[in-house]
Chain A
């Protein structure tokens, strides 16, 4: 049952490469997304504890991340149908420097999207540190062609940078896994399945285990976009098609975060959280602080969203590092951030199509050009900066409360300050885009349902999570945060 979660998208991806008809490709994409979501729901309803020693399984943490990935992919695939239909075929001129370029073949694009889904699902469901590592590498290889969908030199640069930086990160993560294997000592016969490792953790060599944790955090942290390892992220997010940006930001970064959480579980089992927590807190604070500065001087609205993602990854790392109720907050924030950020990226694609510019300064009066998109854009922006009544407010508030409960008042105040700066920066940019008169030459086009409905639904989910967290979501999150607290 669990195997079908990633074999179905993988097989569908393989099939996509041999398909010519656009209609068939788009149907395959949406059908696979529906099948994946249905399977995730079934697995969530029926799963028990994963079998001890199994390489692939679904535990409380995996369920949360599976749902995020599957729901986002569902929204993205519907949006992609509308998006691909509106792309001009053949060669066309680039909006920024007028050079000619053409798109990647649609079969490659859809095939890579499905491989991307398969590899992310494998990351989430794998319970073997080596398999998880290999799956993270697979996500990198599957997503690089997606960033390069518009084959012009800027997306080429972004994809090259993404591959180069993330491959170094992946190398460091392998070194971290090797260190953890070394920590087992010469006599041990233990494999690298998380259950076995956790059972053996108290007897492991603490020095090697700590070294392994650092390398895993740095390695997967590169992929997750923790500052100062984030340098690939703004480029990749701003140059890839909006539907890909949404998946990168909402789903991929979470998968990398899960890699770090697995390492954290090991350290918790070994009773070394006192060593691990300050590392996550430090990465979290640096990410939150640095992005606040970059948000203020940002002139490109897709990069603005990208920096906001780094900020939220920092908030999540901080939450887990602080522990207690903040862990719950971090997981809730993973859900909220993914939904809100994906909605924003999808809408940014609509604005980009209407205004043909990614500059914040050249977009004005979007309310008159694309009213529905603009309303979602505003809601999303207020949601992502943590305004009530949206869900991010609840999750950020929970983390701050966790900090104060734990006696870290200085951290709480610092974070609030940075969040304030980020709010001011994002709100100023977004309001200037929505209000005023549209520039001459930009005409109002009919907004299609396929490109509006997915972000609207995602934004509605964030709003709902701010007002009311349904019991099945809160109990799943509680179980997941318990898995991060006690594993001894």
Chain B
């Protein structure tokens, strides 16, 4: 069982690397959908005795449905409605992003090794991979310009938290179930993008241009 869980976690790492190097929004959304499916398998390995219970099965089903199907569909719909240019214009380039990703992987491996012994996890890879996924998500949020790409980044960040939660899914199912509430945020973001584009209250959804309110230069221009 540990073997299967480890394979799933390695696939998660690979999907993260694809996200770091990806430029088309379509690719990013597809990759995030694949991540959702991988995550759906993880609760099946969470029972310490290797068994299963209804709670874990329900968790797996709900995860697959929300993260693998519903949210990616909403994102695709937003791409179509908003007609965002497919390329992304990142603050940090793709090759540099990949290098940063490698560094993040090393950091996560170190932190995971420091923290792991506390919890007999699903697999020894679980904690490092969870930390790596959180870091990749945060990196995407900070370095990508399009609001939609940032939402994808948030989804990845949240997937990392969920991955960590799986190690506790048997003892503290409630906390892991609560992480669904983070999916609500993703839903709100996507709805916001769709709705406010339609109402034309916001010409660009480029979050980096949300700089009007920043203190400093822009304020002096106003005077």
Listed in ascending order, the chain A residues whose CB lies under 8 Å from chain B are: 101, 130, 133-134, 137, 141, 144, 151-154, 156-158, 160-161, 163-164, 167-168, 170-171, 174-175, 177-178, 181-186, 188-189, 192, 205, 207-208, 211, 234-235, 238-239, 294, 297, 299-300, 303, 359, 361
| B20-63 interface code vs A (CB 8 A; 1 in, 0 out) | 00000000000000000000000000001000000000000000
CB-nearest residue of chain A relative to B142? A168
Q: Which residues of A contact B168 (CB under 8 A)?
A: 178, 181-182
Is the C-beta of B141 less than 8 angstroms from some C-beta in chain A? yes
Q: Is B150 in contact with A164, judged by CB distance below 8 angstroms? A: yes
- B residues 151-210 touching A (CB-CB < 8 Å): 154, 157-158, 161, 164-165, 167-168, 171-172, 174-175, 178-179, 181-182, 184-185, 188-189, 192, 196, 201-202, 207, 210
User: Which one, B77-85, B93-101, B211-219, is touching chain A?
Assistant: B211-219
CB-nearest residue of chain A relative to B158? A171
Listed in ascending order, the chain B residues whose CB lies under 8 Å from chain A are: 48, 114-115, 118-120, 134, 138, 141, 147, 150, 154, 157-158, 161, 164-165, 167-168, 171-172, 174-175, 178-179, 181-182, 184-185, 188-189, 192, 196, 201-202, 207, 210, 212-213, 215, 219, 222-223
Q: Which residues of A contact B202 (CB under 8 A)?
A: 153, 156
Q: Is B175 in contact with A299, judged by CB distance below 8 angstroms? A: no
Q: Is B165 in contact with A178, judged by CB distance below 8 angstroms? A: yes
Q: Is A168 in contact with B118, judged by CB distance below 8 angstroms? A: no
Q: Is A168 in contact with B207, judged by CB distance below 8 angstroms? A: no
The contact sample of 14 A-B pairs, CB cut-off 8 A, is A137-B184, A154-B213, A156-B201, A160-B207, A163-B188, A167-B154, A167-B182, A168-B138, A168-B154, A171-B154, A181-B171, A192-B175, A205-B118, A303-B215
Partner of B213, one of A167, A171, A205, A235: A235
Partner of A168, one of B157, B165, B174, B213: B157
Q: Is A178 in contact with B171, judged by CB distance below 8 angstroms? A: no
CB-nearest residue of chain B relative to A133? B178
Partner of B161, one of A174, A234, A299: A174
Roughly how many angstroms separate A374 CA and B68 CA in the complex, as a whole number?
57
Q: Is B188 in contact with A141, judged by CB distance below 8 angstroms? A: yes
Q: Which residues of B contact A158 (CB under 8 A)?
A: 213
With both chains docked as a complex, state the minimum distance between the C-beta of B177 and any C-beta of chain A, in angstroms.
9
Q: Is A207 in contact with B118, judged by CB distance below 8 angstroms? A: yes
Q: Is B120 in contact with A186, judged by CB distance below 8 angstroms? A: yes
Partner of B215, one of A130, A185, A234: A234
Q: Is B172 in contact with A181, judged by CB distance below 8 angstroms? A: yes
Q: Which residues of B contact A101 (CB under 8 A)?
A: 201
Q: Which residues of B contact A361 (CB under 8 A)?
A: 223
Partner of B178, one of A134, A153, A184, A300: A134
Roughly how many angstroms separate A327 CA and B175 CA in the complex, as a whole number?
31
Given A151-B201, A163-B188, A182-B119, A130 contacting B210 (CB threshold 8 A)? no
Given A137-B181, A164-B150, A186-B120, A157 contacting B212 (CB threshold 8 A)? yes
CB-nearest residue of chain A relative to B209? A157
CB-nearest residue of chain A relative to B176? A178
Q: Which 5 A-B pairs have the closest CB atoms?
A: A235-B213, A167-B185, A181-B172, A157-B210, A205-B118
Question: Given A164-B141, A168-B141, 4 more contacts at CB 8 Å?
Answer: A160-B207, A164-B150, A167-B189, A175-B161
Q: Which residues of B contact A235 (CB under 8 A)?
A: 213
With both chains docked as a complex, state the minimum distance between the C-beta of A255 and any C-beta of chain B, in angstroms.
17
With both chains docked as a complex, state the minimum distance between the C-beta of B78 and any C-beta of chain A, in angstroms.
14
Partner of A192, one of B114, B172, B207, B219: B172
Partner of A181, one of B48, B114, B175, B219: B175
Q: Which residues of A contact B147 (CB under 8 A)?
A: 160
Q: Is B158 in contact with A192, judged by CB distance below 8 angstroms? A: no
With both chains docked as a complex, state the minimum distance between the C-beta of B165 and any C-beta of chain A, in angstroms.
5
Q: Which residues of B contact A208 (CB under 8 A)?
A: 115, 118
Q: Is A130 in contact with B178, judged by CB distance below 8 angstroms? A: yes
Roughly how many angstroms separate A188 CA and B147 CA in the complex, as a whole number?
42
Roughly how many angstroms separate A154 CA and B201 CA in the complex, as a whole number?
10
Q: Which residues of B contact A151 (CB under 8 A)?
A: 201
Roughly how many angstroms separate A189 CA and B188 CA in the complex, as a whole number?
35
CB-nearest residue of chain A relative to B164? A178
Q: Which residues of B contact A192 (CB under 8 A)?
A: 172, 174-175
Q: Is B174 in contact with A130, judged by CB distance below 8 angstroms? A: yes
Q: Is A160 in contact with B210, judged by CB distance below 8 angstroms? A: yes
Roughly how many angstroms separate A164 CA and B185 CA in the complex, as a whole number?
9
Q: Is B182 in contact with A170, judged by CB distance below 8 angstroms? A: yes
With both chains docked as a complex, state the minimum distance between the C-beta of B120 and any C-beta of chain A, in angstroms.
6
